Structure 1
Amino acid sequence: MRIAILEDDPNQLSHLVRTLEQLLTIGETSVTCITFSNGSTLQQALRRESFDLLVLDWNVPGMAGVELLQWLRKWQTDKVPVLMLSSRAAEQDVVQALNLGADDYIVKPFRPLELRARVQRLMARRVPVAPSDGERFGRWEFERVSQSVLIHPAPGDDAPPQRHALTDREFKLALTLFQHMGDVVSRAHLLESAGYSTEELPSRTLDSHIYRLRSKLGLEAESGLSLRTVYGRGYRLESTHQPQADS
Structure 2
Amino acid sequence: MSGTPPVKILLVAKDRTLRTLLERLLVGRGFAVVDGGTGADTVALLASESPVGLVVCERTGPGLDEVALFEEIRRDPAHGRVPILALPPADPECTARALEAGVDDCLAKPFHPTEFLARTERLARPAS
Hey, what does 1:154 align to over in structure 2? none
Hey, what does 1:82 align to over in structure 2? 84
Which digits, 9 at most, give the CA deviation of each residue in 1:143-200, with x for residues without a partner? xxxxxxxxxxxxxxxxxxxxxxxxxxxxxxxxxxxxxxxxxxxxxxxxxxxxxxxxxx
CA distance in 2, matches of 1:124, 1:20: 13
Asked whether the 8 Å contact 2:38–2:62 carries over to 1, the reply is yes
Q: TM-score, normalised by structure 2?
A: 0.83
Identity over aligned pairs, percent: 29
Q: TM-score, normalised by structure 1?
A: 0.45
Asked whether the 8 Å contact 2:58–2:88 carries over to 1, the reply is yes
Q: Residue 102 of structure 1: SS of its match in structure 2?
A: coil
Letter of the 2:111 counterpart: F
Hey, what does 1:10 align to over in structure 2? 16
Letter of the 2:22 counterpart: L
Structure having the larger proportion of residues in helix: 2
Match runs of 1:169-188 below 5 Å = none
User: 4+ residue stretches of structure 1 with deviation over 3 A?
Assistant: none
Letter of the 1:39 counterpart: G
Relative CO higher for 1 or 2, CA cutoff 8 Å, sep ≥ 6? Answer: 2
Which digits, 9 at most, give the CA deviation of each residue in 1:118-154, with x for residues without a partner? 11221343xx6xxxxxx7xxxxxxxxxxxxxxxxxxx
Count of aligned pairs: 120
> Are 2:70 and 1:64 aligned?
no
Which digits, 9 at most, give the CA deviation of each residue in 1:73-115, with x for residues without a partner? 012343110000122x221221121121100101122211101
Structure 1 residues 94, 42: CA separation in 2 closer, same or farther (over 3 Å shift)? Answer: same
Gaps of 5+ in 1: 26-30, 129-134, 136-247
Asked whether the 8 Å contact 2:26–2:32 carries over to 1, the reply is no
Gaps of 5+ in 2: 1-6
Q: Which has the larger radius of gyration?
A: 1
Query: How far has the Cα of 1:60 moved from its partner?
Result: 1.7
